[in-house]
Amino acid sequence: MMEISWYLWKHARNIAGKSQLFINAYAKALEVIPRQLCDNAGFDATNVPNKLRQKHTLAAGEGALYGVDINTSGISDSSANFVWEHAVVKDLENSEKYLDWLQHVLKSI
């Protein structure tokens, strides 16, 4: 979810008006998922998501597959740990399609 959130934050910079606020709010809402995972596991719900956010902003998508690791109380490459189901959501093409859909919804409001 952090990868989609980061992509939405980045895309919102190019949009003027209220639409930018809606997209930023949605991006922020997506960050609740890793934060809640940390909370439920008893981890620092501020430090771990910040590390995750830093990893997802690396160039060339180096940190795109990183997520919360319950076993190490930190973050790790989910693909290397054989966690694949959320990797499909992070596919950039799906993110772009979703963003187009979100903009269509916002225009209709």
Instruction: Out of 20-24, 26-30, 64-68, 88-92, pick the least confident.
Output: 88-92
Query: 80: domain range?
Result: 2-108
Q: Percent of the chain beyond pLDDT 90?
A: 6
Taking only the tens place, the pLDDT of each residue in 7-55 is 888 899 998 888 899 999 998 888 888 888 888 888 888 888 888 888 8
Cα separations in angstroms, 98 against 21, 49, 70, 94, 105: 17, 23, 28, 6, 11
User: What pLDDT score does 45 carry?
Assistant: 83
C-alpha 65/C-alpha 88 separation (Å) is: 10
What CATH number did the domain enclosing 72 receive?
A: 1.10.560.10
Contacts of residue 88, defined as CB under 8 A and 6 or more positions apart, other chains included, come to: 94
Cα separations in angstroms, 96 against 23, 49, 51, 56: 13, 23, 25, 17
